[in-house]
Amino acid sequence: MLRNGPDTFGWVTILLHWTIAILIAGLLVLGYIMTRPDIDPMLQFDLFQWHKSFGFTALGLCIIRVLWWLASRHPVAVAGLSVREKWASFAVHILILCLTLAVPFTGWALASTSTLDIPSFYFNLVVIPHLPLDKSTVAETLWTTAHAILAYGLAALVLLHAAAALHHHFIRHDAVLVRMLRSRRS
């Protein structure tokens, strides 16, 4: 089943979910490592370019993910969840979806406003143009701070989200995690 069913996730949702999850987890770790103050400048330059390339890939996939989410039906919650739990998980999912767009956009904005004006090479294949924003140290600092706060905020939410999924699987023994791992007929 490619599309979501009334109480199941389809393969498109599942594949997008896990590909994006792996990409974002890697970008969070890479972003943290490459901004350590004692890192070698040459290595830092390379890591920044890798971070930007994977970051643009994440942005593209997250746009597709949000469009797919808007166009898809949303499977009903598994049995046994209280109304409060349903609303809490829905709110966290919406917040995560918004942050998966906001984080790469602020990254793109900080690269675009930098007075160093370093081009963003997409895996050394093409140059992704800067956003039409004025370059200044103030703007770069602002976008850098926004990028870091939103990225670590996303990390915290994802940890909460993953902990909830594991809690459902190992403590409550319900189908919440399993239905995001494989698609089935309803």
Residue 128 pairs in a beta bridge with 120
Residue 48 in contact with ligand HEM, rule: CB under 6 A: yes
For residue 120, which phi and psi values (nearest 5 degrees)? Answer: -100, 105
Amino acid at the residue 78: V
Q: Which is nearer to ligand HEM, 103 or 183 (CB)?
A: 103
**Exactly one of 8, 14, 151, 183 binds ligand HEM (CB under 6 A); which one?**
151
Chain-centroid distance, C-alpha 32: 15
Residue 3 in contact with ligand HEM, rule: CB under 6 A: no
Residue 28 in contact with ligand HEM, rule: CB under 6 A: yes
Residue 14 in contact with ligand HEM, rule: CB under 6 A: no
Cα separation, 64 vs 16, in Å, equals 9
**Exactly one of 15, 129, 162, 172 binds ligand HEM (CB under 6 A); which one?**
162
**Exactly one of 96, 98, 142, 146 binds ligand HEM (CB under 6 A); which one?**
96
User: Which residues, 6 or more positions from 71, have their beta carbon under 8 angstroms from its beta carbon?
Assistant: none
